[in-house]
Structure 1
């Protein structure tokens, strides 16, 4: 298998508070508002990687409650596993990966984030009984959605 046909796997945690709002981080590298997350390391299990990524970007310790979606960036070959999470420790802290935080409603996430990343948070806030499976081009959701 050549390098161009490989995929990478990322994880993201949509942390939901008692009011039903989701935590978004403003990334330092590009200024975008997204759920905290990132690429899994090669020998890292999914839950450990999720906890590490969220801690590195927010200072929070989380417990994943539900896999809410699987998303593929068709241009970059990145598969993202997104989990609804609850906070179990730590404190919200700006890090070298994040420059700001906001607790947002569904309407606010639509205004702050590009569609491809907003949909992850919206899916996590919904009452779906099964994970959503979606594709995107890095900005917009593309193709059929399930």
Structure 2
């Protein structure tokens, strides 16, 4: 049976654990007036991998990774939920219209995906960072 003291200790441990996890991650905040979807590209092992979509409402933030950032570079792409302009870049990765996780960044169309440009997000060695999407 849980006593009041044990419950308080368990809650304190849970708060400390979640606080440290909350501090170490890659977070994207939507600072525009429309919902967006975000995709992430990373180098894993000896290859590239892309995954998405994280859906973020206006004014909200979402953690794409909730562990310490180990890489110096991550790649992001964001698109509005409704067709329109988005945030892309010069680094091509494979994406799909629906939620996806794709290994490799070449021959996207031949493998049933499409190619889209991602932009570089440099961590400068930080273990945690937040990126704001703005107009």
TM-score (norm 2): 0.36
Structure with the largest fraction of helix: 1
Which protein is bigger by CA-based radius of gyration? 2
